[in-house]
A and B are shown apart, each in its own frame.
Chain A
Amino acid sequence: MNLTLKVWRQKNNKEYGRLETYAIGDISPDMSFLEMLDVLNEDLTRKGTEPIAFDHDCREGICGMCSLYINGRAHGPKQGTTTCQLHMRSFKDGDTIVIEPWRARAFPVLRDLVVDRGAFDRIMQRGGFVSVDTGSAPDANIIPIPHPVAEKAMDAAACIGCGACVAACKNASAMLFVSAKVSQLALLPQGQVERKARVEKMVAQMDKEGFGNCSNTGACSAECPKEISVENIARMNREYFSAKVTGDQ
């Protein structure tokens, strides 16, 4: 396959960026999208041009490190897929592909296609946990959890924290990400003690980080590589409202 790539290049978070055009040939349909970028980077290096920086690590769709806005879609054209699991067979010979970083105020660009998603960690640090010190846990089977509840919690817990939801949202809202964790812990018995404080603290931090509001378009869920449901957002709204009305904080 021969392709034309328009790739966002930006030296650092202080300078302006721009789209650069590169032609690339001899691409196998069995390559992953990131392997295609590896090929381009090898070409660029040999020509003395600095390679394109992009985040990636596990390359099997689970670490959440890879990102990329491809032809206007987070993680590219395929449903339920991270960029590292997107293969070139999803494109046609002669295609022009536009590759940009996540765009959101809360995710500043660090270089080229690499952004800073530290805001997600800071939200988690406010309440995305059960406060249980090592060694203080009772036997694991002491509290039975109904199968459907465990499954629902697992559905929410599958979030990989990649930030596609924020990138896909016209308001750059982080509601899907935050609600996935709030839901997981609100559903499980272990999360009950801190249930109200958790949602309030996490939402407060989310707002502080500069993410936008949710206007229920559902783009986040549609573009989520793990297909996290918007049901979680509804649940978080309920949790938040309940905490505000009846909470003790």
Chain B
Amino acid sequence: MILDSKIPAGPISEKWSKHKFNLKLVNPANKRKFEVIVVGSGLAGASAAASLAELGYKVKCYCFQDSPRRAHSIAAQGGINAAKNYPNDGDSVYRLFYDTIKGGDYRAREGNVHRLAEVSVNIIDQCVAQGVPFAREYGGHLDNRSFGGAQVSRTFYSRGMTGQQLLLGAYSALSRQIGLGNVQMFTRTEMLDVVMVDGQARGIITRNLVTGAIERHAAHAVCLATGGYGNVFYLSTNARGSNVTAAWRAHKKGALFANPCFTQIHPTCIPVSGDHQSKLTLMSESLRNDGRVWVPKAKGDQRRPEDIPEDERDYYLERIYPSFGNLVPRDVASRNAKQMCDDGRGVGASGLAVYLDFGDAIKRLGESVVKQKYGNLFDMYKQITGENPYKTPMRMYPAVHYTMGGLWVDYNLMTTVPGLYALGESNFSDHGANRLGASALMQGLADGYFVIPYTIGDYLASANIKSIKTDHPAFGEAEGQVRDRINKLLSINGKLTVKEIHQKLGKIMWDYCGMARSEEGLLKAKGMIRDLRNQFWTNVNVLGSGEELNQSLEHAGRLADFLELGELMVDDALSRNESCGGHFRTEYQTEENEALRDDENFCYVAAWEYTGDNAPENLHKEPLVFENVKLSQRSYK
């Protein structure tokens, strides 16, 4: 299989404009004849569903939550990047493009990333027009702050709730289209398979999570905007319901899965407090604007932070990376935190934490300014830990946060399955091996508002899509498989709960395929995951029936897919004999413990093809071509 990224030729700044012109159009009267399925209602899904409906397509949108407004995009705190250059500090589309490529450790496509930077400015305009209340200066203009991996201030924000406000903006646009009858919304509905007819994606099979009804939905094209798969680690900053099922089902129907091992470990999360822990809570990267990260200079220093004098503290990020300081990219910050803790200088009861200290910021700015900037984050920290961060430094430890990997897509966001698209975090395309802060919101909305509305028309206008109904045999076959699987899950009646198997999987993934990976560990993990998968299918206990609201059954189905994905992540990590961004192989590091890339052999996208249950997947390589940016060792010093 030759992977054609379909990146148009020509100068980088003209690629997207030229491509838009070359894409075929569907005339307005014909648009209503086409039906498009959008799975997921987060930033990418809601913005795509709304924008496609505005164009005149008939859209059906699905989410597993009780309302499209709940999607996990809502939890993003810090902000959204855009190359507006309002602060006049030297930003430009090219600089945002460059920072993103470099931040991703040169494992993203130039063409996609430049397009992302280009449309970033339109996103802010669109959101403001929707009534998104971004933070403003006293003169009434939009305020910006800085984020990791950048030396300009290009991040727009709404307090610490930017994701919420952007999602509610997209939700409002979606609601408008639902009200107008242009979008049919299916809540509490989970997609369980893609239906293929004549090699094209033509619909989905869903389960109504309230009644358990298995339903068929047909369309001319299917867009997955189903988010990331961080919950393969059990503990992550993802919402509990976030899962890989839709993407994994698509993968099994022929969509290649790209760079599955590229996982982002976010440096500032509230540390684990015990086995009961059900999720990890992130504290926005924006805190690193004013908070200073430190550990005691001495190993095993048990004193309270306020009792450790200034000269016995190691502000290690400022020491090692003087030019970026506390604002180094996430992978660098996380790895350094791990190193400090591995070195015996971690703090807190578990020794698995570093301090994020606002003492200086409060002295410099006053408590009220700090409160205005970060109040809700401080409150959240206090609620979870019972400690007051205005008085004592926060304790932070890295946690799984985002997955750069995802379904392989071309420049049009189409997967290797004709008519099947992947948007937002569910695709792999824009962040390389490490995503910069405030770029996930940007990518989700870019894909939904400004890319898919153009590219999907080209497919609908040119592909020969036959008229079919849901009584087509392909729907019957897919539905049968879905039913069999549910019945199987319910009939095992074993001794292990879904949760305990998921916790075990998470521990394997975190220990061997987390912040540091080695060949030895990965090989061990592979065997452990296979054993665990076997235990799951022979000894899991799922109570209740399939014909009712059954949350254990939902969780079991999602875990079954995570148990397969986990092994692919390990295979991917094993095959990439280099370190880059969030993928850190201990065998490949510089003398200063930085990630050591191997551009000669690994400057490619690893796209995996499913070949059958328990069979090894086939690796396809899409070489990454850099025409504008010179590959170099990332330096934030």
A140 near B549 with CB under 8 A, answer no
- Using known A-B contacts A129-B176, A134-B51, determine if residue A12 contacts B386 with beta carbons closer than 8 Å: no
CB distance from B491 to the nearest CB of A (A): 15
Cα A56 to Cα B64 in complex, Å, equals 12
In the complex, which residue of chain A has the Cβ closest to the Cβ of B179? A125
Residue among B86, B175, B276 with the most chain A CB within 10 A?
B276
B276 near A38 with CB under 8 A, answer yes
Which of A42, A58, A134, A145 is within 8 Å of B140, CB to CB? A145
**Extra A-B contacts (5), CB below 8 Å, given A59-B279, A133-B51, A146-B140:** A59-B281, A110-B210, A111-B210, A124-B171, A134-B453
List the A side residues contacting B131 at CB < 8 Å: 129-130, 153, 184-185, 188, 190-191
CB distance from B141 to the nearest CB of A (A): 5
Interface residues of B in 138-191 (CB under 8 A from A): 138-142, 158-159, 161, 163-165, 168, 171-173, 175-176, 178-179, 185, 187
Interface window among B122-130, B286-294, B355-363, B594-602: B122-130
A144 near B139 with CB under 8 A, answer yes
List the A side residues contacting B241 at CB < 8 Å: 57
Interface window among B65-73, B90-98, B426-434: B65-73
Interface window among A62-70, A93-101, A211-219, A232-240: A62-70
Q: Per DSSP, are chain A's interface residues mostly helix, strand or loop, or mixed?
A: loop
B386 near A58 with CB under 8 A, answer no
A59 near B239 with CB under 8 A, answer yes
- Residue B342 at the chain A interface, CB threshold 8 Å: no
A51 near B72 with CB under 8 A, answer no
- Using known A-B contacts A85-B380, A134-B51, A150-B134, determine if residue A55 contacts B66 with beta carbons closer than 8 Å: yes
B161 near A158 with CB under 8 A, answer yes
- Using known A-B contacts A51-B551, A57-B65, A87-B383, determine if residue A131 contacts B136 with beta carbons closer than 8 Å: no
**Pairs A-B, 8 closest by C-beta atoms:** A144-B140, A137-B129, A125-B179, A129-B172, A137-B125, A140-B128, A154-B133, A134-B51
One digit per residue, 1 when the CB lies within 8 angstroms of any chain B CB and 0 when it does not, for chain A 162-189 equals 0000000000000000000000110010
- Residue A71 at the chain B interface, CB threshold 8 Å: no
List the A side residues contacting B125 at CB < 8 Å: 137-140
Cα A121 to Cα B168 in complex, Å, equals 12
- Residue B552 at the chain A interface, CB threshold 8 Å: yes
Interface window among B218-226, B540-548, B610-618: B540-548
A58 near B75 with CB under 8 A, answer yes
Interface window among A1-9, A16-24, A25-33: A25-33
Total interface residues in chain A, CB < 8 Å? 76
- Using known A-B contacts A45-B552, A154-B158, A184-B133, determine if residue A85 contacts B175 with beta carbons closer than 8 Å: no
List the B side residues contacting A157 at CB < 8 Å: 132-133, 158, 165, 168
Residues in chain B within 8 A of chain A (CB atoms): 47, 50-51, 54, 65-72, 74-75, 84, 86, 122, 124-142, 158-159, 161, 163-165, 168, 171-173, 175-176, 178-179, 185, 187, 210, 237, 239-241, 273-274, 276-279, 281-282, 379-380, 383-384, 386, 449-450, 453, 497, 499-500, 541, 543-544, 548-552
B499 near A87 with CB under 8 A, answer no
Cα A176 to Cα B217 in complex, Å, equals 37
CB distance from A226 to the nearest CB of B (A): 9
A42 near B497 with CB under 8 A, answer yes
Residues in chain A within 8 A of chain B (CB atoms): 11-12, 28, 30-32, 34-36, 38-39, 42, 45-46, 48-51, 53, 55-65, 80-81, 85, 87, 89, 110-111, 114, 116-118, 120-121, 124-126, 128-141, 144-147, 150, 153-154, 157-158, 160-161, 184-185, 188, 190-191
A45 near B276 with CB under 8 A, answer no
B380 near A60 with CB under 8 A, answer yes
Cα A39 to Cα B499 in complex, Å, equals 10
Which of A34, A48, A136, A144 is within 8 Å of B543, CB to CB? A48
In the complex, which residue of chain B has the Cβ closest to the Cβ of A114? B549
Which of B175, B187, B279, B497 is within 8 Å of A129, CB to CB? B175
- Using known A-B contacts A32-B278, A57-B72, determine if residue A134 contacts B175 with beta carbons closer than 8 Å: no
Residue among B66, B75, B84, B124 with the most chain A CB within 10 A?
B66
B273 near A62 with CB under 8 A, answer no
13 interchain pairs, CB-CB under 8 A:
A11-B548, A55-B66, A59-B239, A59-B240, A60-B75, A121-B185, A130-B172, A134-B450, A137-B128, A140-B134, A147-B140, A157-B158, A190-B131
Cα A34 to Cα B49 in complex, Å, equals 32
CB distance from B136 to the nearest CB of A (A): 4
CB distance from B258 to the nearest CB of A (A): 27
In the complex, which residue of chain A has the Cβ closest to the Cβ of B177? A125
Cα A57 to Cα B188 in complex, Å, equals 12
A59 near B278 with CB under 8 A, answer yes
B279 near A28 with CB under 8 A, answer no
- Using known A-B contacts A87-B386, A140-B128, A147-B136, determine if residue A35 contacts B72 with beta carbons closer than 8 Å: no
B84 near A118 with CB under 8 A, answer no
List the A side residues contacting B172 at CB < 8 Å: 124, 128-130
List the A side residues contacting B136 at CB < 8 Å: 144-147, 150
CB distance from A22 to the nearest CB of B (A): 16
List the A side residues contacting B65 at CB < 8 Å: 57, 63, 65
A51 near B552 with CB under 8 A, answer yes
Cα A128 to Cα B69 in complex, Å, equals 12
Cα A183 to Cα B533 in complex, Å, equals 52
Residue among A55, A114, A157, A184 with the most chain B CB within 10 A?
A157
In the complex, which residue of chain B has the Cβ closest to the Cβ of A156? B133
Residue among A51, A57, A126, A133 with the most chain B CB within 10 A?
A57
Cα A235 to Cα B69 in complex, Å, equals 24
List the B side residues contacting A59 at CB < 8 Å: 239-240, 278-279, 281
Residue among A85, A134, A161 with the most chain B CB within 10 A?
A134
- Using known A-B contacts A87-B383, A134-B47, determine if residue A111 contacts B548 with beta carbons closer than 8 Å: yes
CB distance from A25 to the nearest CB of B (A): 13
B274 near A118 with CB under 8 A, answer no
